[in-house]
Amino acid sequence: MNGTVLLVVHSRRSDPGQVAAALRTQGWGIDVRCPRAGESLPESMDDHAGAVIFGGPMSANDDSLPFIRQELDWIPTALDSGKPLLGICLGAQLLARCLGAAVTVHPEGLHEVGYYPIAPTAAGGDVFPEPLHVFHWHGEGIELPAGAELLATGDTFANQAFRYGAAAYGVQFHPEIREDILKSWMKRAADKLGAPGARPPEDHLAGHARHGAAMHRWLDGFIGAWLGNSD
């Protein structure tokens, strides 16, 4: 085993999905922790090769939630270690906040729920070799943090992926999604399926059938390069 990657989730029933599968396939162990359930985060990154902070239905601006405050206070520990850090959706928004950027709703109240296209920027060609359709489930977006590189853009929320330093990344989409997770989200958060800008419910599984495999191939390559484990 190469080492252990910390996975920070926001519900006991959260499923790290394809991220966990890709990590295991590439020889990494995983340590799943849920601060919302009272689990602690490590005082240092000495025992972890990297960390992934996943999404959740809460806002990165919910400082009144103790676990959100806990994660905001902890992220600098991960950044200062210089080890690989990946924020996914809410995780990216928490990372952006720690770097001094705002997290806000869309000015027209739009959401991204479903598969949407993203396009690489000039700086992002090494991370996104080509445009992708990726799965989203969010109603807030991020400003680009000072000193960060914008790696991918989208039509509704412009800032889709960024890199800070050599090893910290934030993505607004959910590469961990699988069909079983998607079905669960559609059932548990059915009210979001009708949000302004959301894809029609019937498009979700069809979109995953069309685009999910390509997104997972991207994830495999990203994890290999991000953790220095590429061939």
Domain boundaries defined on the chain: 3-226
Q: What does the pLDDT read at residue 231?
A: 37
Indicate which residue of 34, 176, 208, 216 is catalytic.
176
Indicate which residue of 48, 138, 174, 204 is catalytic.
174
**pTM to 2 decimal places:** 0.96
pLDDT of 230 strictly over 50: no
When pLDDT is averaged across residues 46-74 and rounded to a whole number, the result is 96
The answer to whether 174 is a known catalytic residue is yes
Average per-residue pLDDT in the chain?
Answer: 95
Cα distance between residue 107 and residue 103, in whole Å = 12
What does 73-111 look like in DSSP terms, one character per residue?
Answer: HHHHHHHHHT--EEEETHHHHHHHHHTT--EEE-TT---
Indicate which residue of 71, 89, 133, 208 is catalytic.
89
CATH, domain range 3-226 = 3.40.50.880
The answer to whether 89 is a known catalytic residue is yes
The answer to whether 143 is a known catalytic residue is no
Q: What does the pLDDT read at residue 1?
A: 64
Secondary element (H or E) of residue 207: helix 201-226
